[in-house]
Amino acid sequence: MAIQRIRLFGDPVLRTKAAPVVDFDKELRRLVKDLTDTMLGAPGAGLAAPQIGVSLRVFAYNVEGEVGHLINPVLDLSDETQDGDEGCLSIPDLPFPCVRALRAVAKGFNEFGDPVVIEGSDKLARCFQHETDHLDGVLFIDRLDRETRKAALRAIRQADWANGGAVSGSIANGSGSAGTEPPQIRVSPHPTFGQAR
């Protein structure tokens, strides 16, 4: 099991557009496994690679017992919409009503590079839209109406996890226990020429 730390609101990786996957190799399969393990351990309905600090177009999903992943997703959305509460592992414990397309056809690839087409409605369609947004640096709070978004940002500012408090479970540090220490950042004494991550 390879549970990773989930990045929280405010981390710049969540606002960066992810790069397309070009190599369907062992490293990619490890990433898919890490995403799936972390998502199931959280637990969550979906998890995109940027949420564990990897800026690649990959996400895993777990909706109504259907567990899978999609690489380089492209969505075809219905005009008909749904409205319901939506949450995010990067904005823990703060669901808000969000309008999404009712149905989605997701096209992409599996971890071996085979083409995949998945049709979903309701929760699965919502999940596909939410996770694909992550790959574009968009968070679900960006999709909220003005008043709800203001309420969401206020709730985020007041959340313990946004103020240095502990976040329970794997959301905090991937270890299954609450983490209270901020991550230690080490700066290289050598020139990195802009390549440090």
Six token digits for residue 15 = 């606002």
The reply to whether 131 belongs to the active site is: yes
Cβ contacts of 191 within 8 Å, gap of 6 or more: none
Among residues 64, 131, 147, 181, which one is catalytic? 131
Q: Please provide the distance, in angstroms rounded to a whole number, between the alpha carbons at the two ends of the chain.
A: 24
Active site residues: 131
